[in-house]
Chain A
Amino acid sequence: MLTILFDGIAYGMLLFVLACGLAVTLGLMNFVNLAHGAFAMAGGYVTAVLMNRSGVPFLATLPLAFIIPAILGLVLERTLYKRLYTRSHLDQVLFSIGLVFMAVAAVDYSFGSQQQLIQLPVWLQGRIDVMGVQVGLYRSFIIVICGALVVALQLILTKTRFGSRLRAAVDDPRVARGLGINVSLIFAATFAFGSGLAGLGGALGAEILGLDPTFPLKFMIYFLIVVTVGGTTSITGPFLASLILGIADVAGKYYVPSVGAFVIYTLMIVVLVLRPQGLFERAR
């Protein structure tokens, strides 16, 4: 019972790290970036390729799994995304889907279509017994890392100058510009950071979610669910949504396996019909 809860939390945390960048781009720049999963995939492949072809240890690849997608995100934001902020959502969807297609085919071309597997270091394998609850070591690792990220994000947003500028830019870009805040720089930095987080999520998730060229398409729906259910105005919304989703998914499949797959979707529809702005948004 507690094990299920634990697994659900780990899964939810992972979803959050993968999706929170999307929440930010959507909330901040009002940009529907369906290519978000492609950055996650980039992170996953960075880790897999470094480990399998160059023998770099798992932990050492993680910073790179953050940095490389972040740079990629920064470059794309400056060259392409930037031009599309003012366009309609349909344009953005079309554009980012196009990017996904290109990413899928390009990764397939470079690394093949098969699953990429990574070898966790021994100290992350297996499970231990914590007060009668069987706890997977790797999942604990994920929870610790992701938990730290959540706290760090929350602190950055609420306590730093960057955070207050970011919030100002979200609330009203025009006013923020009037206050002398370089909104375009903040957008770029945030986009890069979100892409980096996705990359880190992809690297951490490669072990549990699998990693192949179709990754961005396979998990796009999950990311979107997290973001719509959680709302986009805060970090806590998507975070709680991820947890609920993770736990509901795992518990649903455990207790009612025949309808397990319904749980997540039905939950989403109910939430969105009752609270169209998302579960944790104040009603307007």
Chain B
Amino acid sequence: MRRRTFLSAVGAAAVTLALGGAALAQETVKIGLILPMTGPFASTGRQIEAAAKLYMQQKGDTVAGKTIQLIVKDDTGVADVTKRLAQELIVNDKIAVMAGFGLTPLALAPAPLATQAKVPQVVMAAATATITEASPFIVRTSFTLPQATVPMADWASQNGIKKVVTLVSDYGPGIDAEKAFTGAFTGKGGQVENLRVPLANPDFSPFLQKVADAKPDALFVFVPSGIGAQFMKQFVERGLDKSGVKLIGPGDVTDDDILNGMGDVALGAITTQHYSAAHDSPENKAFVEAFKKANPNMRPNFMAVGGYDGMHLIYEGLKKTNGQGGQALIDAMKGLSWTSPRGPVSIDPQTRDIVQNIYVRKVERKDGELYNVEFATIPNVKDPVKAAKAN
């Protein structure tokens, strides 16, 4: 008897939920933001969440007459959880867009769902080149590693660097970076030696010793942001900076979020990336100021700008479709262009990947704090991997 009452109560609740959900869906557009909020990659999630919330706070939560509702979920950095959360958000919450995705496997796992349910998937962080090929509903507002890396190779070969050792974390983006750099640099007559370090690696000293033995002109490094600081310190501790080895790489290693804490060891590192908190533009000044005000202990980094622009892309897309999702929304997103805090950007209509300026930067002290100071710009860079395929 009791069990029957219980079951019917559950059933009734389910019906109410379903109906209620449907009624609300007409008035609100839900965005599912799936991020690693705990675990080793939590800082990625925090930056993006903070930026997305900042954007909504600045631009209001109404677009095309509909209320935007952001649902944040923690996938703990585990791919099957990401997938399940995405599926629940699609099925139960009837989200119009899913966004976030801190790491490559986390972005790839729900890709089939995007295709199946026709829900646009806005990748705000993960940077392996191939991600956008996993589903026609994926659009990216972060960057691809080859996009940031190939300009590095160009710069290096133009600035008298002949021999480079690459040191990358042994996973998708790392290998992407290694391949892109090696290909581009040897193409220009340079000499490259490759080293890979395990992703979970507490001590770099043995690898740095190998670098020291090889005596290169420069060390090209890619490690996920967060581990970068340890790397920088050990690089200097080993005296590699003094023995004339230049430190170059995509900007992950000098992540703005923790750059200032690294101290003088980071000085002089040359990196190429799409965003620096020190980017000189009114948009960026406003963005950095607002971000710091809302989050006192944080400085926005390239993850944050990916989240900020991702929200912008969703807003603009929804404006064009009048609040409609699905195929219409992804179509509306293609080809959009705007001025982001990072500079001018657009969404490539063919690849749905972002086209943006890549800046060559050097770590310098500015107003008492360390920043990546931009000194050269390569405009409108497309992802070289997909560009090569297209030709």
Q: Which residues of A contact B (CB under 8 A)?
A: 3-4, 7, 11, 52, 104-105, 108, 111-117, 119, 125-127, 134, 136-139, 207-210, 212-214, 218-219, 222, 249-254, 257-258, 260-261
Contacts and interface: CB of A to CB of B under 8 A. Distances in A.
Given A3-B209, A214-B39, A257-B210, 6 more contacts: A115-B43, A212-B43, A253-B203, A257-B197, A257-B207, A260-B198
Given A127-B237, A210-B227, A108 B42 contact: yes
A11 B239 contact: no
B46 interface: yes
Interface stretch (B53-61, B228-236, B277-285): B228-236
B205 A7 contact: yes
A250 B196 contact: no
B202 interface: yes
A87 to B, nearest CB: 28
Contact of B261 (A115, A208, A218, A254): A115
Contact of A134 (B200, B207, B239): B239
Given A136-B237, A260-B198, A113 B46 contact: yes
A43 to B, nearest CB: 17
B298 A250 contact: no
A219 B226 contact: no
A4 B226 contact: no
B195 interface: yes
Contacts of B227: 210
A251 B207 CA distance: 10
B203 A249 contact: yes
A115 B237 contact: no
Nearest to A207: B233
A105 B258 CA distance: 20
B369 to A, nearest CB: 13
A115 B203 contact: no
Nearest to A105: B38
A119 B263 contact: yes
B interface, by DSSP: helix, strand, loop or mixed?
helix
B203 A11 contact: yes
10 contacts: A7-B205, A112-B46, A117-B233, A117-B258, A208-B202, A210-B202, A250-B205, A253-B203, A254-B207, A257-B206
B206 A210 contact: no
A interface, by DSSP: helix, strand, loop or mixed?
helix
Interface size range on B against A: 35 or more
Contact of B257 (A3, A114, A139, A218): A114
Nearest to B297: A112
Nearest to A252: B206
Given A112-B297, A134-B239, A253 B207 contact: yes
A164 B277 CA distance: 59
Nearest to A251: B206
B229 A117 contact: yes
A254 B43 contact: no
B40 interface: yes
B238 interface: yes
B239 A127 contact: yes
B262 interface: yes
Contacts of A11: 203, 205
A145 B234 CA distance: 20
Contacts of B203: 7, 11, 208-209, 249-250, 253
Interface string B254-265: 000110011101
Nearest to B259: A117
